[in-house]
């Protein structure tokens, strides 16, 4: 069975496509083209809004944004993926509640960067004027590979450059740009996501996995060269519809906040894995969450157990990686999947079938990646087995009557920046 492989564009191709879209829509030349990658998370899922650890890599698949400053104080956007002509709004009107759909991710970044304190340099925001932008992307859309963060971060580095803000030149500045992108996503696009995706897109390094500690915002770059170990990371886009804005994600976040509050800690990161049983025992009553939902003790315990054990798995994964023993991380990936499926309840039949079929076909480990409820799974496989594992997953999907999956092989790529 042949399985679709999602190709990553070369930078020249991405730049050409975005430039042509720009010329077609606006009849002028852009000031440049910037791009930002999608990501896959190796391990550490649903930990980023719990003060925890996660370990993403940036994908070679990127979103390209051709952008040019204008003098009419209006944002104009077109997207090759979305079609439908140009979207436009005066810069001053962009903000929470004002923008529907995909433009919120792009225009929202301009709003967030202009907010007070966005540069970290004091109380003033940065002046963002009018601009035109055209977007094209080879990051699979809606596949749990952070196409939205790639869009935000490509716009962020473009605005940083054309308005001479100068944040993209340092890791500290990039962390501030990531904060602006997170605000755009949370407050303008209305998705209550954590921050791993934007951090990966802006702060990852080519050939490295990014250990992101969301408690203090620090990052560590760990060499990640699977090829040197005869291994590859197969990403399986299940094509099951994936929606983060539908309330389930926000509900998980709310439940975790409730559990932490009940335990008297700022976040579940502060629950020591060695003291997990005591913490679970202390979650003994039904309680009302910050958002006003009720959560049973069983649900609170299951969600807490996932977060605490998942953070411990990231630590173990990093130890193996640092010791050159990446071939041994498979069982941690498997355990992560079981925890996400049973305790966190964010998997779905397509993800479970992908993971099981990959393992049965010889993957060393496999798990869902990203927010879940659809999206993608990852499998650690011997380089020689990539095609067989992909074919086995496709055959299993066929047997279950699922839409055919698509795949890609993920090498750790570089962060957002100027392309031309």
**Which residues are at the interface with ligand GLA (CB under 6 A)?**
41, 45-46, 48-49, 193-197, 370-371
Is residue 197 part of the annotated active site? The answer reads yes
Calpha distance 354→241 (Å, rounded): 15
By beta-carbon proximity to ligand GLA, the closer residue of 67 and 180 is: 180
By beta-carbon proximity to ligand GLA, the closer residue of 184 and 385 is: 184
* Minimum CB distance to ligand GLA, residue 56 (Å): 9
Calpha distance 407→420 (Å, rounded): 28
* Minimum CB distance to ligand GLA, residue 130 (Å): 29
* Minimum CB distance to ligand GLA, residue 16 (Å): 29
Q: Any residues with CB less than 8 A from the CB of 3 and at least 6 apart, and which? A: 387, 390, 391, 393, 394, 404, 405, 406, 407
By beta-carbon proximity to ligand GLA, the closer residue of 195 and 365 is: 195
Is residue 229 within 8 A of residue 327, CB to CB? The reply is: yes
CA dihedral sign, ordered 358, 222, 198, 68: negative
By beta-carbon proximity to ligand GLA, the closer residue of 25 and 416 is: 416
CA dihedral sign, ordered 370, 56, 216, 264: positive
* Minimum CB distance to ligand GLA, residue 72 (Å): 34
* Minimum CB distance to ligand GLA, residue 335 (Å): 16
* Minimum CB distance to ligand GLA, residue 345 (Å): 13
User: Other C-beta atoms within 10 Å of 388: how many?
Assistant: 14
By beta-carbon proximity to ligand GLA, the closer residue of 197 and 411 is: 197
By beta-carbon proximity to ligand GLA, the closer residue of 22 and 344 is: 344
CA dihedral 261, 215, 150, 77 (to 10 degrees): 60
Selecting among 132, 161, 197, 411, the annotated active-site residue is 197
* Minimum CB distance to ligand GLA, residue 167 (Å): 21
Give CA separation, 167 vs 94, 172, 176, in Å.
22, 8, 7
By beta-carbon proximity to ligand GLA, the closer residue of 131 and 212 is: 212
By beta-carbon proximity to ligand GLA, the closer residue of 104 and 194 is: 194
* Minimum CB distance to ligand GLA, residue 192 (Å): 9
HSE, CB side, 13 Å, CA atoms: give it for residue 239: 14
* Catalytic center residues: 197
């Amino acid at each position: 069975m042949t399985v679709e492989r999602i190709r990553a564009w070369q930078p020249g191709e991405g730049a050409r496509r975005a430039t042509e879209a720009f010329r077609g829509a606006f009849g002028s030349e852009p000031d440049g083209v910037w791009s930002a990658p999608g990501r896959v998370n190796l391990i550490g899922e649903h930990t980023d809004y719990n003060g925890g650890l996660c370990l993403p890599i940036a994908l070679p698949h990127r979103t390209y944004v051709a952008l040019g400053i204008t003098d009419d104080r209006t944002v104009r956007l077109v997207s090759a993926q979305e079609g439908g002509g140009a979207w436009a709004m005066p810069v001053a009107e962009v903000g929470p509640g004002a923008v529907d759909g995909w433009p919120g991710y792009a225009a929202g970044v301009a709003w967030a960067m202009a907010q007070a304190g966005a540069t970290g340099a004091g109380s003033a925001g940065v002046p963002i004027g009018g601009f035109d932008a055209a977007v094209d992307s080879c990051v699979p859309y809606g596949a749990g590979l952070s196409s939205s963060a790639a869009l935000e971060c490509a716009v962020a580095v473009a605005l940083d450059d054309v308005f001479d803000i100068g944040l993209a030149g340092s890791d500290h500045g990039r962390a501030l740009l990531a904060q602006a992108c997170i605000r755009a996503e949370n407050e303008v696009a209305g998705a209550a996501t954590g921050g791993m995706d934007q951090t990966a897109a802006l702060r990852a390094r080519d050939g490295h996995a990014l250990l992101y500690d969301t408690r203090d915002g620090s990052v560590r770059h760990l060499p990640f060269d699977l090829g040197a170990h005869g291994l590859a990371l197969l990403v399986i886009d299940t094509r099951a519809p994936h929606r983060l804005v539908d309330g389930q994600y926000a509900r998980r976040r709310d439940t975790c906040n409730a559990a932490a509050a009940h335990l008297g800690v700022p976040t579940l990161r502060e629950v020591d894995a060695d003291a997990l049983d005591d913490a679970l025992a202390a979650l003994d009553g039904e309680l009302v969450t910050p958002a006003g939902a009720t959560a049973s003790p069983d649900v609170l315990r299951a969600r807490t157990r996932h977060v605490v054990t998942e953070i411990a798995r990231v630590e173990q994964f990093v130890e193996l990686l640092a010791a050159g023993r990446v071939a041994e991380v498979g069982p941690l990936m498997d355990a992560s999947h079981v925890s996400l499926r049973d305790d966190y309840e964010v998997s779905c039949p397509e993800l479970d079938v992908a993971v099981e079929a990959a393992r049965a076909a010889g993957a060393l480990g496999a798990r869902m990646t990203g927010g879940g409820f659809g999206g993608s799974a990852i499998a650690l496989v011997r380089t020689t087995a990539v095609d067989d594992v992909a074919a086995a997953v496709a055959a299993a999907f066929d047997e279950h009557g699922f839409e055919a999956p698509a795949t890609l092989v993920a090498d750790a790529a570089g962060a957002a920046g100027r392309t031309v």
